[in-house]
């Protein structure tokens, strides 16, 4: 499970290219290299499951979220292609799209932390527990489905209110 990630809150004209590179490195390149690291063993054993954790924010166009959303959208595309490429090896690659999870994440974003806290607080979304997110990820691993989400329907996901 590739779950490490960092946010970046800045309008497009204010995105620091170094911050963006760091976010891409952690949110996109790190899951790729971790996937590459486990593939030899998964191929040897004839099966495996890889879950990449994205973000339901990719279904919104929230000002200030462009860099973070772009990194998670790219991860979703990379995961979809890996799923097709690895299917013949009985390796399921899946995406989990959580909503807001009760962690320190938003307080550690690069860029405008106050703006990120405001965006989260005014979203109307109820934060989910880490345990709830973990249970949904375990369900995704068991099912081998292409994706699952914890995003309410009114925000583009499948979670019923």
Q: Looking at the annotation, which residues are catalytic? A: 68
Q: Please state, in angstroms and as integers, the Cα–Cα distance from residue 82 to each residue in 25, 39, 68, 117, 145, following that order.
A: 18, 11, 21, 34, 13
Q: Interior CA angle at 107 toward 101 and 10, to 5°?
A: 105
Residue the block writes with tokens 């971790």 = 34
CA distance 141 to 79: 14
Helix (H, G, I), strand (E, B) or coil at 9: strand
């Amino acid at each position: 499970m590739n779950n490490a990630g960092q946010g970046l809150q800045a309008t497009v004209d204010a995105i620091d290219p170094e911050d963006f590179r760091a976010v891409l490195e952690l949110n996109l390149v790190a899951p790729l290299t971790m996937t590459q690291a486990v593939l030899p063993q998964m191929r040897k054993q004839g099966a495996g499951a890889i879950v990449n954790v994205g973000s339901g924010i990719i279904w919104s166009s929230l000002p200030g979220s462009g860099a973070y959303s772009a990194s998670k959208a790219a991860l979703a595309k990379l995961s979809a292609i890996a799923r097709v490429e690895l299917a013949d090896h009985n390796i399921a690659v899946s995406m989990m799209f959580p909503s807001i999870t009760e962690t320190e994440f938003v307080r550690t974003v690069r860029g405008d932390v106050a703006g990120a806290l405001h965006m989260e607080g005014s979203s109307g979304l109820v934060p989910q527990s880490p345990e709830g997110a973990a249970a949904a990820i375990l369900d995704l691993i068991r099912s081998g489905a292409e994706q699952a989400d914890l995003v309410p329907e009114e925000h583009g996901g499948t979670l019923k209110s």
